[in-house]
Amino acid sequence: MTKDMTTGSSLKIILLFSIPVLLGNLFQQFYNMVDTIIVGRYLGEDALAAVGSTGCIMVLVLGFATGIAQGFGVMISHAFGAKDFRLLKHYVALSLILTVIVSAILTIPTVAASRLFLVWMHTPDNILSMADAYIKVIFAGIILTMLYNVSAGILRGIGDSKTPLYFLIFSSILNVVLDLLFIIVLKAGTAGAAYATIIGQIVAATITASGFKKPPCLADVRHFAKRIYQLGYPSIFMQMLYTVYIVILNIILAGFSDAAVTVLGLYYKVQSFFFIPLSGLQTCIVPLLSYTYAKGEYQRCKHIMTNSVIMAVSFMLFGVLCFEFIPTQLLGIFSTEATVLSIGENAFRIIGISFIPAVFSLISPVFFQAIGSSGPSVLLSLTRQIFCLIPIFWVLSFMGLEYTWFAFPIAEIVTGSVGWLLYRRKLK
- pLDDT score for 411: 93
Please tell me what DSSP assigns to residue 353: T
pLDDT of 1 over the 50 cut: no
**Do 42 and 254 contact (CB within 8 A), yes or no?**
no
> b/e map of 246-278 (b: 16 or more CB within 10 Å)?
bebbbebbeebeebbbbbbbbbebbbebbbbbb
Residue 224 identity (one-letter amino acid): F
Length of the chain: 428
State the alpha helices, DSSP H only, in 211-297: 219-254, 258-274, 276-294
Summarize pLDDT for 40-86 with one digit per residue, the tens: 667 776 666 666 666 666 666 666 666 666 666 666 766 666 666 77
Residue 424: Cβ within 10 Å count:
9
Answering whether pTM is above 0.75, one says no
Summarize pLDDT for 302-330 with one digit per residue, the tens: 888 888 889 889 889 999 999 999 999 98
**Distance in angstroms (rounded) separating the CA atoms of residues 27 and 22:** 9
pLDDT of 17 over the 90 cut: no
Q: Which of 149, 166, 155, 165 is nearest to 205 (CA)?
A: 149
